[in-house]
Chains A and B, each alone.
Chain A
Amino acid sequence: MTVTSEVFIAVLLLIGAFLSLVAAFGLIRLPDVYTRNHAASKSATLGVMCILLATFFYFLAADGFFSSRLLLGIAFFFITAPVAGHLISRAAYNSGVKMWDQSVRDDLKDKAKKEAASKR
């Protein structure tokens, strides 16, 4: 393993860990479900992807082992994590979870009202 690849892998790992930490802080400090979901689903996804990529490069550089499972895991996580976030926040909206009181815009509100009116 060369020094360049070691530094590259270490930087990727640290970025991944830092982004996961940012996601955790966002979960604690942000005010409502939607902003928390925003923090968790974005930065945690990128953080985990960075860590998986670093693992992939580590085994490639150290053992010459091309781990296709890790690449598949990266692709899988990239596809599924945002969709999970989308489904969680939609379930929260549909079950009537209130937004933060300083939110300025709710585009879905009118549509929900209109559909309720047309159903009547």
Chain B
Amino acid sequence: MKTNDVIFQTVAKIVFFMIIFFAIHLFFAGHYYPGGGFVGGLLTSGAIVLLLLAFDMKTVRRGFPVDFKWLTALGLLFSVGTAAGSLIFNVPFFTHAYDYFQLPLFGKTSLHTAMLFDLGVYLVVIGVTMTIIQTIGESE
């Protein structure tokens, strides 16, 4: 029988955005609530895996034209960069700094350099998970 995945594919397209937005919410909420880079990254890669299930690998690779190994490297660079950035200001390795800023859209927001470290974790988790899954999926 010819496979007809129209229901699954349509729902996957909608649900993908729900998962992605929830993952971004978890990522940004990580400082004050449960969540953070690791869970956010896992949920993001879960959303991409949902697209991999609904469509084939070629379509997904066209939608995300990144090599996920580079994403891992970029994340590690972010983390090490955040940690090493404190050395410039003559404080120990991994010293973080934060302050409150008056942003145009968000109002009073506290920006913390730990978020950059978290961004590194986020990218590494996405990169590693997607690399594992794509490598296993490709092998015959």
A4 interface hit (Cβ, 8 Å)? no
**A114–B23 alpha-carbon span in the complex (Å):** 45
Q: How many residues of B contact A (CB 8 A)?
A: 9
A103 interface hit (Cβ, 8 Å)? no
Tally A-B pairs: CB < 8 A: 24
**Among residues 43 to 78 in chain A, which have CB atoms less than 8 Å away from a CB atom of chain B?**
69, 72, 75-76
| Closest-CB distance, B38 to chain A (whole angstroms) | 18
Which residues of A sit under 8 angstroms from B2, Cβ to Cβ? Answer: 115
- For B19, the closest partner residue in chain A by CB is A76
Residues 95-116 of chain A: 1 if any B CB is under 8 Å from the residue's CB, otherwise 0?
0000000000000000110011
In the complex, are the beta carbons of B1 and A87 less than 8 A apart?
no
Chain B interface mostly: helix
In the complex, are the beta carbons of B11 and A79 less than 8 A apart?
yes
In the complex, are the beta carbons of B15 and A76 less than 8 A apart?
yes
**A69–B19 alpha-carbon span in the complex (Å):** 12
Chain A interface size band reads: 10 to 19
Which residues of B sit under 8 angstroms from A80, Cβ to Cβ? Answer: 11, 15
In the complex, are the beta carbons of A112 and B1 less than 8 A apart?
yes
- For A73, the closest partner residue in chain B by CB is B22
**A80–B54 alpha-carbon span in the complex (Å):** 13
In the complex, are the beta carbons of B22 and A72 less than 8 A apart?
yes
In the complex, are the beta carbons of A83 and B18 less than 8 A apart?
no
A2 interface hit (Cβ, 8 Å)? no
> Which residue of B1, B7, B8, B18 contacts A76 across the interface (Cβ within 8 Å)?
B18
- For B29, the closest partner residue in chain A by CB is A69
Which residues of B sit under 8 angstroms from A115, Cβ to Cβ? Answer: 1-2
The 3 closest A-B pairs by CB, nearest first: A83-B11, A112-B1, A115-B1
Known: A83-B7, A83-B8, A94-B1. 18 other contacts (CB 8 A): A69-B22, A72-B18, A72-B22, A75-B18, A76-B15, A76-B18, A79-B11, A79-B14, A79-B15, A79-B18, A80-B11, A80-B15, A83-B11, A86-B8, A87-B8, A115-B1, A115-B2, A116-B1
Can you offer 8 A-B residue contacts whose CB atoms are under 8 A? A72-B18, A75-B18, A76-B15, A80-B15, A83-B8, A86-B7, A87-B8, A115-B2
Task: Please give the residue numbers on chain A whose beta carbons come within 8 Å of chain B beta carbons, in ascending order.
Answer: 69, 72, 75-76, 79-80, 83, 86-87, 94, 111-112, 115-116
Task: Please give the residue numbers on chain B whose beta carbons come within 8 Å of chain A beta carbons, in ascending order.
Answer: 1-2, 7-8, 11, 14-15, 18, 22
